Amino acid sequence: MKRARYQRGSVVFDKRRRTWNFLWREDGNRKSKVIGSLREFPNKSSARRAADALLARQADRSKVSTCLVKDLVTQYREERMPRRLDTRRSYDVWLNNHILPRWGRYPITDLQARPVELWLRSLRLAPKSKAHIRGLISVLWDFAMWREAVPSQRNPMELVAIQGASKRSKQPRSLTVEEFQRFTQCLGEPFLTLALLCVSFGLRISEGLALKWADVDWINGTLRIERGIVAQRVDTTKTDESRRQLPMGDGLIETLKDRWRATLFQSAEDWVFASPVQLGRLPWSYDQIWRVYQKAAAKAGIGKLGTHTMRHTYRSWLDAVGTSIAVQQKLMRHADIRTTMNVYGDVVTDEMRQAQGRVVRLVLPVSLQNGSQMDRKVV
């Protein structure tokens, strides 16, 4: 009986100070803590209940102290890491380059709102990147609570503020028709056909490279988007909404037929953009496409562009031809119409400039309009 009481600690009343004290041993050392006054706890039973609560908190802290971030990350990768390759790769970048070097050897409970926010402020990253890191730390906190490595509580990352996280540090680029034509004139095959498909359907580069001849329905004139390829590994599309069958115009069908006649890899399961270097086992890689695009853009004199520029261009051209926003959402294959409107809608096209110019001509005197036109010619 005494041994059991000794393991749980003892509650003793200090007559001189008139306080209840809790005495216990930890790692062979005797420790004590004031529980409260006689007014707060009028009898030993109430003081004992307070001591039991203290023991429970100490047990929780002892359990948490062993839950290091590096161990938690290892467990998260095994149990809850997203399956999609592109998402996993992004998570690994944030974990390996930022979170683990700074916080890996610390308990997860050290990642509180203030120290994390101050650390994020010190990073030379775009606000959106900082928001991604904060989000991943929040995921780790939720995972720790799910595994009962820490008590369930409010996620402290909810208190971390990042200024400008919802704003882009670099605006997406959209090509005009004339810029795109100059760009394609500097492209050889199969890169020309790839650019034409991406800008005609708003394909992500991972979707364009992952096309197979089986995805082309020659009779009904449709193209089926089934998969993506990231780092030369076949994966699912970004969202379920991205998997869709799209109608093709006659011109695109003829373009694809020309591509099929020119390639050595013509079976249904062959890649449309099969790499001869890989003997058709894989399509051209993203890095190769990116380098070809940069050289062609520089030669065309249109500046730098990314492979995703084709998708932004498709969205702006849909606007230019008067497509309703609901139809645009379906053609862009967005699950949420807000993505169509907000993320892909903030671009400036020639049509927007022309429309704004027509309004200006209604309000400005003719003399000012002529002067403005002369200024543009001089420039």
CATH number at residue 256: 1.10.443.10
Q: What is the pLDDT of residue 348?
A: 45
> Is 165 inside any structural domain?
no
Instruction: State how far the Cα of 210 lies from the Cα of 235, in Å rounded to an integer.
Output: 9
Expressed as residue numbers, the domain containing 77 is 69-159
Reported as a single tens digit per residue, the pLDDT across 315-345 is 888 877 777 777 777 777 876 666 666 555 5
Residue 47 confidence (pLDDT) above 50: yes
Instruction: State how far the Cα of 307 lies from the Cα of 288, in Å rounded to an integer.
Output: 11
Q: What is the pLDDT of residue 366?
A: 52
Say if residue 46 is in the same domain as residue 78: no
Report the predicted TM-score, pTM, of the whole model to 2 decimal places: 0.61
Say if residue 123 is in the same domain as residue 211: no
> Count of domains in the chain?
3
Reported as a single tens digit per residue, the pLDDT across 210-253 is 999 999 999 888 889 989 998 888 888 887 778 888 888 888 88
> Is 368 inside any structural domain?
no
Say if residue 11 is in the same domain as residue 142: no
> Is 236 inside any structural domain?
yes
Instruction: State how far the Cα of 117 lies from the Cα of 113, in Å rounded to an integer.
Output: 6
Say if residue 238 is in the same domain as residue 330: yes
Angle between helices 309-320 and 325-332 (to 10 degrees): 150
Residue 73 confidence (pLDDT) above 50: yes
Of 13, 47, 65, the residue at which a domain comes to its end is 65
Residue 372 confidence (pLDDT) above 50: no
pLDDT band at 346 (very low <50, low <70, confident <90, very high): very low
Reported as a single tens digit per residue, the pLDDT across 166-178 is 666 567 788 888 9
> Is 7 inside any structural domain?
yes
Instruction: State how far the Cα of 304 lies from the Cα of 118, in Å rounded to an integer.
Output: 34
Say if residue 112 is in the same domain as residue 220: no
Instruction: State how far the Cα of 171 lies from the Cα of 168, in Å rounded to an integer.
Output: 6
When mean pLDDT is compared across 23-37, 106-120, 255-269, the lowest value belongs to 23-37
> Is 312 inside any structural domain?
yes
Max CA-CA distance within the chain?
Answer: 104
Residue 11 confidence (pLDDT) above 80: yes
Say if residue 204 is in the same domain as residue 309: yes
Tokens found for residue 264 = 């050595």
Tokens found for residue 245 = 């069958």
Say if residue 50 is in the same domain as residue 134: no
pLDDT band at 70 (very low <50, low <70, confident <90, very high): very high
Tell which wins on pLDDT, 158 or 315: 158
Of 65, 84, 108, the residue at which a domain comes to its end is 65
Say if residue 184 is in the same domain as residue 232: yes
> Is 141 inside any structural domain?
yes
Residue 274 confidence (pLDDT) above 70: yes
> Is 373 inside any structural domain?
no
> Is 100 inside any structural domain?
yes
Share of the chain above pLDDT 90, in %: 40
Say if residue 228 is in the same domain as residue 282: yes
Say if residue 56 is in the same domain as residue 107: no
Edge-to-edge strand list for the sheet holding 222-225: 216-217, 222-225, 244-247
Q: What is the pLDDT of residue 344?
A: 55
Mean pLDDT for 99-123 is: 94
Say if residue 213 is in the same domain as residue 324: yes
Say if residue 95 is in the same domain as residue 215: no
- E strand segments, the chain: 10-14, 19-26, 29-37, 216-217, 222-225, 228-230, 233-235, 244-247
